[in-house]
């Protein structure tokens, strides 16, 4: 009887080990497929664009000939665009998250708002482009300008920042909150001096990842009238502008093969910026986790 039990246990263990190996193989296969396509993407972009990537390319603007074209105007336009996006989206997003988590009454209406903010984070970017076109371009009469593009992109990533900030605020131990209030601190003092510093790593990480999404978006900028070719840098918030994704899109649409190589060089710059921003997010998270 004892031998039969041992044999049954052994068979069950063998079955579990086999299932574990099968699942591990499936997970490895899924990871490998993603990595293979990522490597192919990098290889394709590098082989196409590395020949055009030089100092002249980085410091030149649009030109009628591929060998003279550069991404300087688009790069500066993207930086100015991200400055506007960061200012508006971070302030409004973090403030909204603080209100929803710390001040709003916990009822069905508040939960309804939270659910819809989460849903907005998954809305296609072109919908935000249409929203920006309606409000910022036409109703507020900003026209096809830098401020209209920046506010539209701020709307795009605002739900992402709100959700990330909410999660960061929830991750702060309730003991810290109660201890601060128990020591006589007001609610705002507790938020400003205890909760926000502890939640800062998550907020910064979510913000940088959201900004890295915004810097690579093309559809909303096309809708709100970003110029495909502009030869001067924006000198005010109401000036015409362009951005790196718009310039790359314009180059890829041209029939001559050389323009595809110019676009490849632009994609390399854009990927480098995206990797840099995501690396900064990882470093910030790791640094603050070590402190905590």
**Predicted confidence (pLDDT) at residue 4 exceeds the cutoff of 70:** no
Q: Quick one: tokens of 97? A: 């998250």
Q: Is the pLDDT of residue 118 over 60?
A: yes
pLDDT at position 285 over 80: no
286 pLDDT exceeds 90?
A: no
**Start-to-end Cα distance in the chain:** 55
Indicate whether 289 pLDDT > 70.
no
Domain boundaries, the chain: 73-291
pLDDT digits (tens, 9 = 90+) for 244-257: 999 888 888 888 88
Q: Give the Å distances, CA to CA, from 18 to 15, 22, 23.
A: 5, 6, 9
Interacting residues of 103 by C-beta distance below 8 A, sequence separation 6+: 187
Reduce the secondary structure of 27-70 to three states and give it as a string: HHHHHHHHHHHHHHHHHHHHHHHHHHCCHHHHHCCCCCCHHHCC
Q: Read off the pLDDT of each residue in 233-247 and give the average, rounded to a whole number.
A: 88
- Do the Cβ atoms of 58 and 125 come closer than 8 Å? no
> Which CATH class name applies to 73-291?
mainly alpha
Percentage of the residues of the chain whose pLDDT score is greater than 90: 22
> What is the spatial distance between Cα 282 and Cα 292, in angstroms, rounded to a whole number?
15
């Amino acid at each position: 009887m004892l031998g039969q039990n041992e044999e049954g246990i052994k068979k069950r263990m063998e079955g579990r080990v086999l299932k574990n190996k099968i699942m591990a193989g499936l997970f490895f296969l899924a990871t490998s497929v993603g990595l293979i396509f990522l490597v192919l993407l990098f290889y394709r972009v590098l082989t196409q664009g590395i020949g055009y990537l030089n100092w002249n390319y980085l410091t030149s603007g649009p030109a009628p000939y591929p060998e003279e074209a550069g991404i300087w105007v688009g790069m500066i336009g993207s930086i100015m665009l991200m400055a506007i996006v960061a200012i508006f989206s971070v302030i409004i997003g973090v403030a909204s998250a603080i209100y929803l988590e710390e001040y709003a009454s916990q009822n069905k209406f508040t939960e309804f708002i939270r659910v819809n903010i989460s849903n907005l984070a998954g809305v296609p970017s072109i919908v935000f482009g249409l929203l920006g076109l309606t409000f910022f371009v036409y109703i507020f009469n900003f026209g096809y300008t830098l401020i209209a593009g920046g506010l539209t992109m701020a709307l795009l990533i605002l739900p992402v920042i709100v959700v990330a900030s909410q999660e960061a605020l929830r991750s702060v131990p309730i003991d810290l909150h109660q201890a601060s209030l128990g020591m006589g601190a007001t609610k705002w003092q507790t938020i400003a001096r205890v909760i926000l510093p502890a939640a800062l790593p998550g907020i910064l990480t979510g913000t940088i990842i959201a900004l890295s999404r915004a810097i690579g978006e093309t559809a909303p900028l096309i809708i709100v009238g970003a110029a495909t070719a502009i030869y001067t840098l924006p000198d005010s918030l109401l000036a015409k502008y362009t951005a790196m994704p718009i310039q790359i899109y314009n180059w890829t649409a041209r029939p001559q093969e050389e323009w595809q190589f110019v676009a490849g060089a632009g994609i390399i710059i854009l990927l480098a910026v995206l990797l840099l921003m995501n690396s900064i997010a990882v470093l910030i998270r790791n640094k603050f986790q070590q402190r905590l």
